[in-house]
Amino acid sequence: MALITLLYPVVGVFLLCTAAFKARDVARDPDNRAVRAVVHTALALGLVLIMIASTPALRTIPGAEAAASTVWHIGVLWAATSFQVFLLFSTRDRLAATRAARVRRGLFAAAAVVLALAWLGADERTKDYGFRVIDSSPSAAAWQITFLALCGWAMIDGVLLVARFAGHAPARDLRVGLRVMGAGCLGGLAFCTAKIVTAAIQTFDLAHRIVPGSVLVVLVVTTFTLLFAGVLWAAVAPRVRAVPRWFRRRRAHRDLWALWNDLRRTPGLQSYVFGTRARSASGDVLHSRHLHWRLYRRVIEVEDMGFHLRPWYSQDVADTARQRGQEAGLAGDELAALVHAAVLEAAMRACRAGTPGADAATAPVLEVSTRDSLDDAAAWQQSIQRARRCALLREVVPA
């Protein structure tokens, strides 16, 4: 319980930062109502959690807790309404979603007015102790009933929308996100039910134990977590899955530096290098922006510089490398990489030594691995670079 309470401000600040981050997308695409609703949801939930965390400090001020409670309950309804708007614009056409969103925003505005008027019309006892109980005070009853009715309806509406559209959403991540949001709506519905049961027990003085406050806190945290995780799933999940690919490409970019640098230093090949590049391996590793574009350029430049060296390709070197590789038990792509590395290394040395090149049409045709994508091409060139460092290559092309 104490740990969850400590997490309120942390999660609140995280949600506010998320709202600020997603606001960039709204600035780039102002007509995207779904993203705008995500920003509103994150902003509302972040402010609510920070206000809940500051509630103990407000209890020393008479009436302040009730005022803060009213404000953050309005914030919860704002978040619930924004969540409904997000679901509407994610699952329906724009015209139908706009009409349905207007209805939900109108209900939210009416509920906010009711909660504010209930607080203004409450007696001093209710203001001092907050709206935790529906006792004989009509203001407290109106306050609780309005909040629970609209919040519960928002959760039911979310469950129905998810049940209707989650099965045939166009993207897998969107389907998963909708189902996670549906689980969050069920958690919110359980919270509203628990609050109604607690209020009924307290109001009618029933001989039953009320729902513990820790259970309500767990339901609130679970609901917020699932709802926001579902909202962000479609945007975050592809980026999370791309993290291993980013590290793999970064390693490929680093591994190819030696091959690219040796080719670049060969006379006549500098013109194939585009722009200003790192002059050392360490500087190349530290520069990590625009990695996809930089790896793409490196792979293309290595291919182009290797093609330029074709007049210096030697069939004798290719045959010797293939024979030594077969004797060492190499086959397939490993053997092809060894042959390619040997021919390329011999061609670079011959070009640097000033040996005249032969006709490119008579150059040996090297076996290559299938390269249908950037990652495959980079992996193939990495295998060539590994072959350049092996002992077999030094036997075929002595230093």
pLDDT at 141: 66
Counts of helices then strands in the chain (DSSP H, E):
16, 0
Per-residue model confidence as pLDDT tens for the chain (399 residues): 555 667 778 878 888 888 888 888 888 888 888 888 888 888 888 888 888 777 777 767 766 776 777 788 888 888 888 888 887 887 778 888 889 889 989 988 988 888 788 777 666 655 555 445 444 456 666 677 778 888 888 888 888 888 887 777 777 887 888 888 888 888 888 888 887 777 667 666 655 566 676 777 788 778 878 877 887 787 788 888 888 988 888 888 888 888 888 888 888 777 777 765 555 656 665 566 678 888 888 888 888 888 888 888 888 888 888 888 888 888 888 888 888 888 888 888 888 887 776 766 666 666 555 567 888 888 888 999 898 888 888 887 776
**Cβ contact 298:253 at 8 Å:** yes
pLDDT at 355: 77
**Cβ contact 261:278 at 8 Å:** no
Distance CA 261, CA 270 (A): 10
Distance CA 67, CA 58 (A): 10
Distance CA 52, CA 3 (A): 14
Distance CA 131, CA 65 (A): 9
Q: Which residues of 366-375 are buried (b: 16+ CB within 10 A; e: fewer)?
A: beebeeeeee
Dihedral angle computed from the Cα positions of residues 77, 78, 84 and 88, in that order, rounded to the nearest 10 degrees: 160
**Cβ contact 338:392 at 8 Å:** yes
Amino acid at residue number 161: L
- C-alpha neighbours within 13 Å on the C-beta side of residue 158: 33
Placement of tokens 């792979």 in the chain: 299
Q: State the DSSP string of 34-67.
A: HHHHHHHHHHHHHHHHHHHHTHHHHTTSTTHHHH
Cα dihedral sign, 162-168-169-175: positive
**Farthest-apart Cα atoms in the chain, separation:** 103
Count other C-beta atoms under 10 Å from residue 273's C-beta: 17
pLDDT at 134: 46
pLDDT at 359: 64
Q: Is 302 helix (H, G, I), strand (E, B) or coil?
A: helix
pLDDT at 130: 47
Residue 343 burial by Cβ neighbours in a 10 Å radius (0-12, 13-18, 19+): buried
Q: State the DSSP string of 149-204.
A: HHHHHHHHHHHHHHHHHGGG-SSHHHHHHHHHHHHHHHHHHHHHHHHHHHHHHHHT
Task: Give 149's contacts (C-beta < 8 A, 6+ positions apart).
Answer: none
**Cβ contact 133:202 at 8 Å:** yes
**Cβ contact 314:343 at 8 Å:** yes
